[in-house]
A and B are shown apart, each in its own frame.
Chain A
Amino acid sequence: DAGVIQSPRHEVTEMGQEVTLRCKPISGHNSLFWYRQTMMRGLELLIYFNNNVPIDDSGMPEDRFSAKMPNASFSTLKIQPSEPRDSAVYFCASSRDSSGNTIYFGEGSWLTVV
């Protein structure tokens, strides 16, 4: 079975540009999570969806960040405009239920904003 699929794997962009990260969750999973990994804060939960509906976006840093899940098999995380401090690894994860007891991560999208 395919795992969580993220694209792009690596992105280098200039400050001020729009960045869109994409995620395809595991088929049959109804919860989707976006995490960001940094050295200082480890893995931070940005937002999670249950049945395509955003449940908790309290971790989204600021209005420059937005996430959508138009259907059960696709989600995007957008940063507009991007800033150097957004440089991090962004992980998408999914699970069968919203409890998140076992969530499965994608390989991550490495973002560098210069």
Chain B
Amino acid sequence: DQQVKQNSPSLSVQEGRISILNCDYTNSMFDYFLWYKKYPAEGPTFLISISSIKDKNEDGRFTVFLNKSAKHLSLHIVPSQPGDSAVYFCAARGGATNKLIFGTGTLLAVQP
């Protein structure tokens, strides 16, 4: 039972355009959400997070939006750069335990 879902396994975007990665969750007890980025042959690295008391968090080219009523969050990257090409994992925590639950990831390819 996937509590965190990333329904797009891959996304291709032109350099300079906006990349939008989506994530849906089912557990209404989740109160903190994170995005991790993973390059091949490396471990995931933390990118940006958002608390459930907010609906937007911005860090440079990266913005995360949270829609609690829809149980949906998205990561916007603008402008996209070839170095952004990686797998992006959405994660959530909260509820009965504080463990981080990850989605299946979305492979982003930014074309020069």
Q: How many residues does chain A have at the interface if contact means C-beta atoms less than 8 Å apart?
A: 26
Please give, as numbers and ranges, the residues of chain B lying within 8 Å of A108 by CB-CB distance: 41-43
The answer to whether the Cβ of A65 comes within 8 Å of any Cβ in the partner chain is no
Inter-subunit contact A35/B102 (CB<8 Å): yes
Residue numbers in B under 8 Å from A79 (CB-CB): none
Q: Is the interface of B mostly helix, strand, loop or mixed?
A: strand
Interface flags for B37-69 (1: CB within 8 Å of A; 0: not) read: 000011111100100000000000000000000
A91 CA to B89 CA in the complex, in Å?
A: 14
Residues of A within 8 A of B (CB): 4, 33, 35, 39-45, 48, 55-56, 91, 93, 98-108
> Which B residues lie at the A interface, using CB under 8 A?
2, 6, 32, 34, 36, 41-46, 49, 89, 91, 93, 97-105
